[in-house]
Structure 1
Amino acid sequence: MKKNNNSRRDFLRKGALAAAGFYIVPRNVLGGPGFIAPSDQLVLAAIGAGGKGRSDIKNASVNGRERVIALCDVDFSGSASASVKEFPKAKLFADYRIMLEEMKEIDAVTISTPDHVHGPAAAFAMQRGKHVYVQKPMTHNIREARLLTEMARKYKVVTQMGNQGASNPLLKNVQAWVDSGKIGKVSKVQIWTNRPVWPQGNPMPKPDASQKPQDLNWDLWLGPAEETPYIPNMHPFNWRGWWDYGTGALGDVGCHLIDIPFRTLGLMYPTDAECSVGSVFSKMWNADYNPEGAPPSSIITLHFNATKKNASKIEMTWMDGGLRPPHPEIIPADHDIGGPGSANGVLMIGEKGIISTNINDSSPMTPKLYLNDGTTEFPQEPAGEKEPEYGHQRRWVDACKAGFSSKEHKGLTSSFDYAGPMTETVLMGNLAIRSYMMRRQNEKGAWEFFARRKLLWDGENMRITNMEEANQFVTRKYRKGWEI
């Protein structure tokens, strides 16, 4: 018996030593150079795998460092097919709800769909404890942005909006100029864009189910929007100009452009909004009215209260459709203030000078400082900045691994705590446009526009206080089964 006990102890001792030895074997010995244990990988899935969704999930995977196990798209015959080739082991889904219910091992999702699906998809994922990376604009309407911001805190998930320019290191130069008071108090901000670069300002195309591509799941593409037969050419890009699906020029590039002053000046909700719009409808409607879509151009004026970073009230003017502000006198006439072709730009106008920032490829580029005394500064992008989209997706992945309360999450440039209020401000411009274009029948049965006025905004309570009819645009009507 004693001999047997000793033999058993010896066996257990040797087994324990062997087990201990196994756990300290270097990973590169176990799996070769670059080996990453499955337990150290984030398990990812994409909701929207084509177009921008392709680069979002690819950049989030960090060239295969993380594990992509599922792709969801309503049409894998188009650009989403490239993601299928990139991740051949990923399981394919058409409905993100089925994917998230079936693939419970998913840790995090990228959401790169048309704007109207951002909110419902992100809410569905967060309610199941999934971290979310959501393309800009964060949501289709103001109420959704507020709800998603609150849900992220409730479910303690790591979030990031896909305005990758927010991670551009050159923004630190702009922030330093503002914080050091180089241009003094900023009183005006002027922003412009060449968008729309898609069909916008015309009546909605008529549905024609006979033209629907065979591989497109149109019902799932519609998501929360009203059920309708297939509308030709809406997928994959021309949806942007229609309110049921898109958010116009503001939604497309506003989260890149408005982000710069919103972030560096420490802005919050605007106090009011007013606008005017361009028209191509006069012959058809005898007025600049099209209830279904955004106008071909617009000018929107927002006002903001003074902040800790800026002691002056601010007037922000947004122009789209090719409209742009006059060239400032203190900036040399041969200096293009809006990037190549003056397509997109931001001017922050202060007491002592101007900060000019152009936008190229949706990221802030070549910020320039012009002071009234003739001083200029033109910082250059740091040498060796090669990480795709400034590491915007990779930093989100790292924060997902570190957790909701981590310094990595708090250090993200567009977590929903920041991106939510900023998106609400962007979408406030659309609320002004849609309110401006409202009309009603008078006592004689003739159509007339509502009295066009400055809208007074109670940001904390998400309400227009001087035009009740306009509050319908704070949210939207949802198709049954797609509500938030």
Structure 2
Amino acid sequence: MEKQDNNTSRRDFVKAAAVATAGFMIVPRHVLGGKGYVAPSDKLLIAGVGVGGKGESDLTGFAKNPKAEIAFLCDVDDRRAAASVKRFPKAKYYKDWREMFDKERRHFDAVSVSTPDHNHAIVALAAMRRRKHVYVQKPLTHDIYEARVLTDAAKKYKVVTQMGNQGSSSDGSRSVMEWYAAGLIGEVHTVYCWTDRPVWPQGIPWPAAKAEVPKELDWDLWLGTAPYTDYVEKLVPFNWRGWWDYGTGAIGDMGCHMVDVPFKTLGLNYPSDVQCSVGSVYVDEFKRGYFPESCPPSSHVTMTFDSPSKQVGKPVQLHWMDGGIQPERPMELGPNEMFGDNGNGVLFIGTKGKMLCNAYGRNPRLLPLSRMDDVNVPETILRVPGQEEGHYTQWVDASIAGYGEMELSSDFSIAGPLTEALLVGNLALRAYDIRVPGANPNSFQYPGRYKKFLWDAKDMKITNFDLANQFVKREYRKGWKVKGL
């Protein structure tokens, strides 16, 4: 259990001092530091946890805001961290985020988390308990339970939060919401979201041969909350996404980008039921492989949302498709017109028409495309300057302004329920391949393959197939357990 930090933060002290002295002397900021000067009290000092790859691009995005300063870097792999260490030479570097938090807690204001999925929650919760604002890459968490914990923690600790689904700040996603509110396609009852992911191996057995751990990598720290296993080749830095112990598959990678648009447009919350089917991997000509450690190579997940909170009064069915599976092409779309973009898309089907957009809410259009000539809907939703890049600046500005002072595109009140809904889809995928313990090998062993799973969001459980509930909340590895997770 971490102790509460009762000491006044550096930033609050500077602000208090400034207020105290304001009656004696008021000096314009441009006189103090010239054009573009940002006072220390208005700087957001950021600590990055996971600073290679996407973590590097996140930090670069924050640093474009003159109010942000990258103060600390932390990564378990020196190879992955090298570019950020070079880009931010003044930032002190750590390998263990726990050490950084303990030693430097008074010297940073906010934390960016871009680790593999299985360590998102433990880092983010530790930061929030220290009253640090947090930016967490998508999906928000690995488990359903973790998503609920982080959503509640953001309110409890009153910190500014944002999930890294940058399309949530795009103009396109806002246009979709405005067109729908204007009634251009009537009442939506069906949504399709599809992606070409995975672009990493899935539906395969765990490698049999262990390998030597690279000297730059702290393997135990990389595993973190996950069960211990020997290091294997090609898991780090990217292919972990296809393994349930670390990643959340295609829906975890792209779902927060794709489903975010209908989720906010229709006012969706938690699904009431979920069902799925998955692509097969064959170990020989006739026998399907059984690889429960790995996400499936392709899937179709269908979720029902009973009581959307905004425009819709009837249930909405949302279809998630990955691995190259796509819905039937709309009749209103011409034979040479793009259906989504680069294997990704979102299709809304309403009582008065259809609407299509690409990943991240980009390039929204009504179907048939000739309807676009008559679109004249005023902008009623505030745009984010810089759109997807502005997603970073928005969080920096909101963190400086303070909790509750600014509206964000994907704070945890939005990102938490969205992530939970997607992870309910993963719950179905994992339950699909559950074998009944102790069953006769010749008997019916996979009851989950033929069920519609009923989801009780309040109690976070499947009510008609208890075997599935083991995936709602993981048991963290010994030494990594913390109160609340």
Q: TM-score, normalised by structure 1?
A: 0.89
- Tell me what 2:8 maps to: none
Q: Which 5+ residue runs of structure 1 have no aligned equivalent?
A: 1-18
CA contact (8 A) 1:367 1:378 kept: no
Q: C-alpha displacement at 1:371, in angstroms?
A: 5.8
Q: Matches of 2:87 and 2:158 in 1, distance apart?
A: 31
Determine which of 467, 476, 479 is the counterpart of 2:477: 479
CA contact (8 A) 1:167 1:413 kept: yes
Aligned pairs for 1:6-21 (under 5 A) are none
The AA in structure 1 aligned to 2:339 is I
CA contact (8 A) 2:44 2:68 kept: yes
The AA in structure 1 aligned to 2:404 is S
Q: C-alpha displacement at 1:207, in angstroms?
A: 5.0
Cα deviation digits, residues 256-308 of structure 1 (max 9, x gap): 10111111000111110111111113429933521101010011111111433
- Tell me what 1:297 maps to: 298
Q: C-alpha displacement at 1:386, in angstroms?
A: 7.8
- Tell me what 1:352 maps to: 352
Q: C-alpha displacement at 1:389, in angstroms?
A: 2.4
Determine which of 329, 332, 344 is the counterpart of 2:331: 329
The AA in structure 2 aligned to 1:305 is D
Does the C-alpha gap of structure 1 residues 141 and 207 become closer, same or farther in structure 2, counting only changes over 3 Å?
Answer: farther
CA contact (8 A) 1:369 1:377 kept: no
Q: C-alpha displacement at 1:379, in angstroms?
A: 8.1
- The 3-state SS of whatever aligns with 2:354 is strand
Q: Matches of 1:284 and 1:204 in 2, distance apart?
A: 21
- Tell me what 1:395 maps to: 394
- The 3-state SS of whatever aligns with 2:234 is coil
Q: Matches of 2:126 and 2:336 in 1, distance apart?
A: 51
- The 3-state SS of whatever aligns with 1:439 is coil
- Tell me what 1:364 maps to: 361
Does the C-alpha gap of structure 1 residues 150 and 385 become closer, same or farther in structure 2, counting only changes over 3 Å?
Answer: closer
Does the C-alpha gap of structure 1 residues 248 and 477 become closer, same or farther in structure 2, counting only changes over 3 Å?
Answer: same
- The 3-state SS of whatever aligns with 1:375 is helix
Aligned pairs for 1:265-304 (under 5 A) are 265-283=266-284, 286-304=287-305
Q: Matches of 2:23 and 2:307 in 1, distance apart?
A: 62
Aligned pairs for 1:305-320 (under 5 A) are 305-307=306-308, 308-320=310-322
- Tell me what 2:220 maps to: 219
Determine which of 37, 50, 56 is the counterpart of 2:52: 50
Q: Matches of 1:392 and 1:46 in 2, distance apart?
A: 17
CA contact (8 A) 1:194 1:320 kept: yes
Q: Matches of 1:471 and 1:21 in 2, distance apart?
A: 61
Q: Which 5+ residue runs of structure 2 have no aligned equivalent?
A: 1-20
Q: Which structure has the greater CA radius of gyration?
A: 1
CA contact (8 A) 2:427 2:468 kept: yes
Q: Matches of 2:400 and 2:350 in 1, distance apart?
A: 41
Cα deviation digits, residues 304-341 of structure 1 (max 9, x gap): 1143311221111111100101111112222112114x
- Tell me what 1:62 maps to: 64
User: Do structure 1's residue 35 and structure 2's residue 32 form an aligned pair?
Assistant: no
Give the paired residue count.
453
Aligned pairs for 1:106-117 (under 5 A) are 106-117=108-119
Does the C-alpha gap of structure 1 residues 150 and 21 become closer, same or farther in structure 2, counting only changes over 3 Å?
Answer: closer
Cα deviation digits, residues 347-406 of structure 1 (max 9, x gap): 0001111010112xxx2211111269x6335989x9x99837241111111111111121
Aligned pairs for 1:83-232 (under 5 A) are 83-104=84-105, 105-206=107-208, 208-210=210-212, 212-232=213-233
- The 3-state SS of whatever aligns with 1:438 is coil
- Tell me what 2:412 maps to: 416
- The 3-state SS of whatever aligns with 1:170 is helix
For the aligned residue pairs, the C-alpha RMSD in angstroms reads 2.3
Q: Matches of 1:63 and 1:315 in 2, distance apart?
A: 40
- The 3-state SS of whatever aligns with 1:376 is helix
Q: Matches of 1:463 and 1:98 in 2, distance apart?
A: 35
